[in-house]
Chains A and B, each alone.
Chain A
Amino acid sequence: MKVLGIESTAHTFGVGIVEDKPPFILSNERDTFVPETGGMKPSDAARHHAVLAHEVLTRALNKANLSIEDIDAIAVALGPGMGPTLRVGAVIARALTLKFKKTLVPVNHGIAHIEIGYLTTGSKDPLILYLSGGNTIITTFYKGKFRVFGETLDIALGNMMDTFVREMGLAPPYIENGKHKIDICAESGSKIINLPYIVKGEDMSYSGLLTAALRLAGKYRLEDLCYSLREIAFDMLLEASERALALTEKKEIMIVGGVAASGSLRAKLEELTKDWNIELKIVPPSLAGDNGAMIAYAGMLGVKHGVSIEVSESKIRPRWRVDEVEIPWRN
C-alpha cells in the first residue's frame, strides 16, 4: 500500500509518499514560506502554498518514482493550524481524491508528528513532548487516545522564542547554521535576570515571560536577556515533564516537533534523562519540522484501521486537539 500525504497547516507546504514496509518513506518534499520581515500573515503563506503546490507534488511523485495511479490513498492534515493554509492542502487532497478515485484520509497534524516519532525512534511506551512553533504538549498514549498531561496555557514555547528574537531585531531568519537565534544570542549571556517562572501542575504559561522579557529590553544586556528567557522557558518545560514522569513512571521520553532540533534543549534533556535513568529518544532533524511524509505515514496507519472520510465531510479543523483523536491502531 502506498499513501500520499499533504501538509499545509502553517508555513510549510509538504508532500510525502510512504509505503507499508521498510524503509516506509519514499519521498518527502517541501517548501517553507519565510516572510522577509515581521511575523507570518496566514494569507501570504496560503498564497505561497497555492503557487508551489503543483511543483512540490510533482517532485514528490518523481522522487518516489511513482505516478498518481500507483497511490492507494490521499492523506491530508485537516488541522490544527491556520485556516487559509489548511484550505490549500484540503482543496488539493479533495481534487486528487475525486479525479483519481482514491480514498481520502483525515490526519491530525499533531498525531502525525507523534507517529513519525514512534517510527523513527523505536519508542515503545514514552512520555511524549510535542514541541513546535504552535504546540507545547506533554502527552502519553492511554486507552485509545493520547492524553494531555500538560500544555501551555497560552502561547507555545517555539512561538514565544521566535517572537522574542524577531522583536529584538535578530530574526528572520530564525535558524542560522542549524541553531536558533535565541541560542546564538544566549551563548554570550550568563547572568540570570528575574523573569516570571510559571508552572501550574503540569501546565506552563509563556505569555507573561515573553511580555516581561520584552519590557526589559534595553535595560539589560541583550545576551543576558536571551540567556535568561531561554533557560527559564526550558526549565519550566523540564519541570513540568518531571512532574509528568513522576506521575506516569514512564521509562522513555520522546521529543517530536520542530523544536526537537534544538541543541540547547537536547543538552538539558540529556541531563534530565541521565538523572532519571530513562531513555531519551528524539525524532531526527529531517523529520522534526512540518513535512508531508509524517502525514502520509499517520494516514497509512489510519486507513489500515478503517479511517477515511468522504470528500463532502472533509472540512478543515483549525482547532483539532490531539486528545480528541481516536487511535484505533494502538489498541
Chain B
Amino acid sequence: MEGGRGRNTLEKLTLLKRGSESLIYRGMFLGIESIFKIRVNKKYRNVELDKKINSERTINEAKLMYSALSVGVNTPAILYVDPDNFEIIMEFLRGPTMKEVLRQYEDLTIFRNVGSMVGTMHNHGIVHGDLTTNNMILHNNQVFLIDFGLAKRSTEIEDLGTDVHVFLRSIESIHPELRDKIFSYFMEGYHNITGLGEEIEEKVNEIRMRGRYVDERRNKNRN
C-alpha cells in the first residue's frame, strides 16, 4: 500500500463502507478530504476474468463520471485514477444516501432534480447503469450521483429505457409505498430535459414485459 503517487500524501484511510464490488475509504489526498474507492479481487471469479472486469470498470467509471460532471451533472470530482490497483480517488461529499433519507423524509419533489440529472446524462449519451437510491447522496440539499461502475456510452432508446427501468425496479423493491410518487416526479424532471418521457415509459413497460411470467405480455399477445 505504499509508493504510489497518491499514497505519499495520505495520512490514514478509514473504511467507510463496503460497496458491492469495492471498499470505500475516507482519507486526505493532496489536502482534500477524499473518498478512495478500491475495487477488490473476487475470490469466486476466474482470476483472468476478475482482473479484466475490475480494470475495465475502474477506467470506465472514472471516464464517465468525468463526462457526467462536465455536462453539469452532480457527481463527485475525480482527483486521481490508478487502473493497475483498481483505485479511484474522488472528492468526499458529506451527506446521507437517498435510501437513508427516505426512511423519514416526506418531500419527494427532489426526485424531479434526479430525473433532470439523469435526463441531462442521457442527452449526452451517458447511461448510469445502476440508478438506485443507494447510489444517490444528498449533499447541501442537492442530490449527487455516485457509482458509475456499470455506466456506459449510449444514445439507444433501449439503453436509456433500461437505465430508467433499473431505477424503477429499485424504488419498487426498497420503497414500495413511495414508488408511484417518486417515479412520477422523476419522469417529470426527465421529460422536461429530454422530451422523451412517453417514449421512455413505453420502453420501460416493454422491458418489463420481456421478464418471466408477466401477465400483461400474454394479454397483449391475445389482443
Whether both chains belong to one complex is answered with yes
Q: Which residue numbers of A lie inside 8 Å of B, CB to CB?
A: 79-80, 134-135, 140, 142-143, 145, 147-154, 156, 192, 197, 199-203, 231-232, 234-235, 238-239, 242-243, 245-248, 267-269, 271-272, 274-276, 318-321
Taking a contact as CB atoms closer than 8 A, the residue among A147, A192, A238, A248 that contacts B172 in the complex is A147
CB nearest neighbor in B for A134: B212
Assuming the contacts A200-B129, A201-B132, asked whether A321 and B213 have C-beta atoms less than 8 A apart, the reply is yes
A275 — which chain B residues lie within 8 A by C-beta? 42-43
Q: Is the CB of B44 within 8 A of A238?
A: yes
Q: Does B46 contact A (CB under 8 A)?
A: yes
Assuming the contacts A199-B150, A201-B170, A246-B19, asked whether A271 and B43 have C-beta atoms less than 8 A apart, the reply is yes
Q: How far is the CB of A263 from chain B (nearest CB, A)?
A: 14
CB nearest neighbor in B for A321: B213
A-B CB proximity, top 7 nearest = A201-B166, A268-B44, A147-B173, A319-B213, A271-B44, A246-B20, A243-B20
Assuming the contacts A153-B210, A235-B45, asked whether A201 and B169 have C-beta atoms less than 8 A apart, the reply is yes
B49 — which chain A residues lie within 8 A by C-beta? 192, 231-232, 235
Tell me the complex Cα distance, A153–B215, Å: 15
Q: Is the interface of A mostly helix, strand, loop or mixed?
A: mixed
Q: Which residue numbers of B lie inside 8 Å of A, CB to CB?
A: 18-21, 42-46, 48-49, 53, 99, 129-132, 134, 150, 162, 165-166, 169-170, 172-174, 176-177, 207, 210-215, 217-218
Tell me the complex Cα distance, A320–B48, Å: 40
What are 5 residue pairs bridging A and B, where the CB atoms are less than 8 Å apart in the complex? A147-B176, A149-B170, A200-B150, A238-B45, A276-B18
Q: Is the CB of B173 within 8 A of A245?
A: no
Tell me the complex Cα distance, A148–B49, Å: 28
Q: How far is the CB of A18 from chain B (nearest CB, A)?
A: 26
Q: Is the CB of B212 within 8 A of A152?
A: yes
Q: How far is the CB of A10 from chain B (nearest CB, A)?
A: 13
CB nearest neighbor in A for B134: A247
CB nearest neighbor in B for A201: B166
B42 — which chain A residues lie within 8 A by C-beta? 235, 238, 271-272, 275
Q: How far is the CB of A239 from chain B (nearest CB, A)?
A: 7
A268 — which chain B residues lie within 8 A by C-beta? 44
Q: Is the CB of A247 within 8 A of B177?
A: no
A135 — which chain B residues lie within 8 A by C-beta? 212
A134 — which chain B residues lie within 8 A by C-beta? 212
Assuming the contacts A231-B49, A243-B20, asked whether A202 and B213 have C-beta atoms less than 8 A apart, the reply is no
Q: Is the CB of A203 within 8 A of B43?
A: no
B177 — which chain A residues lie within 8 A by C-beta? 143
Tell me the complex Cα distance, A272–B18, Å: 13
Most central of B45, B131, B174, B207 by chain A CB within 10 Å: B45
Assuming the contacts A80-B213, A154-B210, asked whether A203 and B169 have C-beta atoms less than 8 A apart, the reply is yes
CB nearest neighbor in A for B170: A201
Tell me the complex Cα distance, A149–B173, Å: 6
Given A235-B49, A321-B213; 13 other pairs, CB 8 A cutoff? A147-B172, A147-B173, A151-B212, A152-B211, A192-B46, A201-B170, A202-B169, A231-B46, A238-B45, A246-B134, A247-B132, A318-B213, A319-B215
Q: Is the CB of B212 within 8 A of A231?
A: no
Assuming the contacts A247-B174, A275-B43, asked whether A320 and B21 have C-beta atoms less than 8 A apart, the reply is no
CB nearest neighbor in A for B207: A153
Tell me the complex Cα distance, A153–B45, Å: 22
Q: Is the CB of A200 within 8 A of B218?
A: no
Q: How far is the CB of B14 from chain A (nearest CB, A)?
A: 19
CB nearest neighbor in A for B132: A247
B132 — which chain A residues lie within 8 A by C-beta? 201, 247
B210 — which chain A residues lie within 8 A by C-beta? 153-154
Tell me the complex Cα distance, A256–B133, Å: 28
Q: How far is the CB of B49 from chain A (nearest CB, A)?
A: 5
